[in-house]
Amino acid sequence: MSGILYIVATPIGNLEDLSPRAVNVLKEVDLIAAEDTRRTAILLRAYEISTSMTAYHEHSDERCTRGLVDQLVAGNSIALVSDAGTPAISDPGYRLVRAVQRAGVQVVPLPGACAAIAALSCSGVASDHFFFEGFLPAKAGARRHRLEELSALGYTIVIYEAPHRLYDTLAVMLVVFGAGRVVALARELTKTFETVKRAPLG
């Protein structure tokens, strides 16, 4: 029998947000495939989990993916974790999920923390309909072009942005969306300095 690939959501800040089910799975699987083994090691130490780890990230090649699939086909179970939040959401884990599904191996999600949903839930902006964009392009021209495309949407847009690009992105949003468009900024969610601010772009 094949093993199972578990998609395990991990805390986005507060380590207490790891579910009891996730703790059990991380202890019981044969291997943890982590986006950053050093960061995941902090979480594992906090819960006294000694499961072996291997790296799986955006630079992992097809050989790495194939190796994990082979282990699953051979009967080993693997937990996929990202640095924080739900794997495969704005994360390269979807490539492994796709390869595992093609091999006929079961994929089981363990729901938990997701920065986009946490931010949306405390933003105060309309959340009955929303579009998840994830990260915008890094280059200024492409970023503006993408925001112009998104401006046609008539509902909330969830965007991830790097702190060093935030001011520039807000300046472009002001031009593209107009001063009256209400935005919410959320950072350090679940951490000591959690901050959520909502105001018109102007």
Looking at 110, 126, 158, the residue that finishes a domain is 110
H helix intervals, the chain: 20-28, 37-46, 62-73, 93-102, 115-121, 140-150, 166-177
pLDDT in tens, 124-170: 999 999 999 999 999 999 999 999 999 999 999 999 999 999 999 99
Task: Verify that 129 and 106 share a domain, yes or no.
Answer: no
Task: Verify that 65 and 134 share a domain, yes or no.
Answer: no
Range of the domain at 121: 115-200
Q: C-alpha angle 126/123/92, rounded to 5°?
A: 95
Mean pLDDT of the chain: 96
CATH number at residue 145: 3.30.950.10
What pLDDT sits at residue 39? 94
Task: Verify that 91 and 21 share a domain, yes or no.
Answer: yes
Looking at 110, 136, 155, the residue that finishes a domain is 110
How many domains is the chain built from? Answer: 2
Looking at 57, 78, 110, the residue that finishes a domain is 110
Task: Verify that 20 and 94 share a domain, yes or no.
Answer: yes
Task: Verify that 71 and 103 share a domain, yes or no.
Answer: yes
pLDDT in tens, 177-191: 999 999 999 999 999
Task: Verify that 25 and 88 share a domain, yes or no.
Answer: yes
pLDDT in tens, 25-40: 999 999 999 999 999 9
Task: Verify that 119 and 105 share a domain, yes or no.
Answer: no
